[in-house]
């Protein structure tokens, strides 16, 4: 069964006495700093592939560490930010996927990600009875929502963007590689941070849902500030539409994996559809 989940707000009220605002503020600051400094740090690689890989590895490890630790710490304090099996297992699988993509010399990187995935797996298994299992109907809702988001975004970009996109020479290879990239390093991390941790913590600390949703949406949009000069249409059109779409589905269903589906498919198939249009 899916639908409006009043349990989220109800749980927030019941567990408010357990909230440690200082702890939450630390996580919020870490998340914001990481996302707003990441583009600048990436520029520091100056085209050096090894430096870029090192930055990417550091970003990936720190991101999944914050996500997994947040889930565990919030749960200990009575705050269940992620409340369904699909969302939690998605994070576990992407931890393992990101570990598998590491180079052979990045043993520490792989080990840490596998460790985080195992820790979260144990958490899910131990608490499996208190974690809800969404119906398959919710998956189809996520897919349909994604189609609407992709079509609207692609049409507007095709109309407004003076730069004409072309289809990649090998569409299948492009799709697979982009899908893996999105799941391992982009969509899951960004959705877990903004629509998960930031939104969840603010609601559990007394913020109204609409206020929390607006704040996380603005922060998410702002984190893509490097796109302003590279592709203004992407920054002022595509990202706001994606933000609105993922925010609305989180507001309605309170299941993170739905926004992950939208974010992933939009980033994978959006550029292809723009080129076709």
Amino acid 44: pLDDT? 63
Using alpha carbons, select from 75, 60, 76, 78 the residue that is nearest to residue 116. Answer: 60
- What percentage of residues in the chain have a pLDDT greater than 90? 41
Amino acid 164: pLDDT? 73
Reported confidence tier of residue 10, pLDDT bands at 50, 70, 90: very low
CB 138 within 8 A of CB 255: yes
Amino acid 23: pLDDT? 61
Q: What is the pLDDT of residues 91-123, one digit of tens each?
A: 999 999 999 887 666 888 899 999 999 999 999
Q: pLDDT higher for 44 or 262? A: 262
Q: pLDDT higher for 254 or 79? A: 254
Q: pLDDT higher for 10 or 46? A: 46
| Mean pLDDT confidence for 196-205 | 81
Amino acid 36: pLDDT? 81
Using alpha carbons, select from 183, 182, 237, 191 the residue that is nearest to residue 217. Answer: 191
Amino acid 45: pLDDT? 60
Report the distance separating Cα 276 and Cα 171, nearest Å: 12
Amino acid 77: pLDDT? 65
Amino acid 3: pLDDT? 45
Q: What is the mean pLDDT of the chain?
A: 83
CB 239 within 8 A of CB 270: no
Amino acid 140: pLDDT? 94
| Mean pLDDT confidence for 213-217 | 92
Q: What is the pLDDT of residues 49-77, one digit of tens each?
A: 666 677 888 888 989 998 998 888 777 76
Break the chain into its structural domains and give their ranges. 8-276
Report the distance separating Cα 53 and Cα 35, nearest Å: 17
Amino acid 266: pLDDT? 94
Out of 10-19, 53-62, 226-235, pick the least confident.
Answer: 10-19
- What percentage of residues in the chain have a pLDDT greater than 70? 83
Q: How far is CA 151 from the centre of its chain?
A: 21
Which two tokens mark 178? 């982009």
Q: Is residue 224's pLDDT more than 50?
A: yes
How crowded is residue 134: how many other Cβ atoms within 10 Å of its Cβ? 20
Which two tokens mark 121? 């797996």
């Amino acid at each position: 069964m899916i639908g409006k989940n009043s349990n989220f707000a109800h749980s927030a009220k019941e567990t408010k006495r357990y909230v440690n605002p200082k702890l939450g503020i630390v996580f919020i600051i870490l998340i914001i700093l990481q996302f707003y400094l990441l583009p600048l740090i990436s520029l520091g690689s100056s085209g050096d592939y090894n430096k870029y890989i090192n930055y990417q590895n550091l970003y990936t490890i720190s991101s999944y560490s914050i996500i997994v630790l947040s889930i565990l710490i919030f749960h200990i304090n009575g705050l269940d930010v992620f409340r369904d099996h699909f969302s939690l297992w998605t994070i576990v699988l992407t931890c393992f996927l990101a570990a598998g993509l590491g180079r052979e010399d990045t043993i520490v990187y792989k080990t840490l990600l596998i460790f985080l995935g195992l820790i979260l797996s144990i958490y899910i298994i131990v608490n499996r009875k208190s974690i809800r299992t969404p119906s398959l109907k919710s998956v189809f809702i996520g897919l349909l929502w994604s189609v609407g988001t992709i079509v609207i975004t692609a049409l507007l970009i095709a109309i407004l963007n003076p730069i004409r996109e072309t289809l990649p020479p090998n569409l299948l290879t492009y799709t697979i590689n982009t899908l893996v990239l999105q799941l391992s390093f982009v969509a899951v991390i960004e959705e877990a941070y903004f629509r998960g941790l930031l939104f969840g913590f603010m609601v559990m600390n007394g913020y109204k849902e609409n206020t929390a949703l607006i704040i996380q949406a603005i922060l998410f949009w702002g984190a893509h500030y490097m796109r302003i000069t590279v592709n203004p249409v992407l920054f002022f059109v595509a990202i706001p539409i994606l933000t609105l779409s993922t925010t609305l589905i989180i507001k309605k269903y309170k299941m993170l994996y739905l926004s992950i589906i939208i974010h992933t498919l939009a980033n994978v198939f959006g550029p292809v559809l723009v080129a076709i249009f």
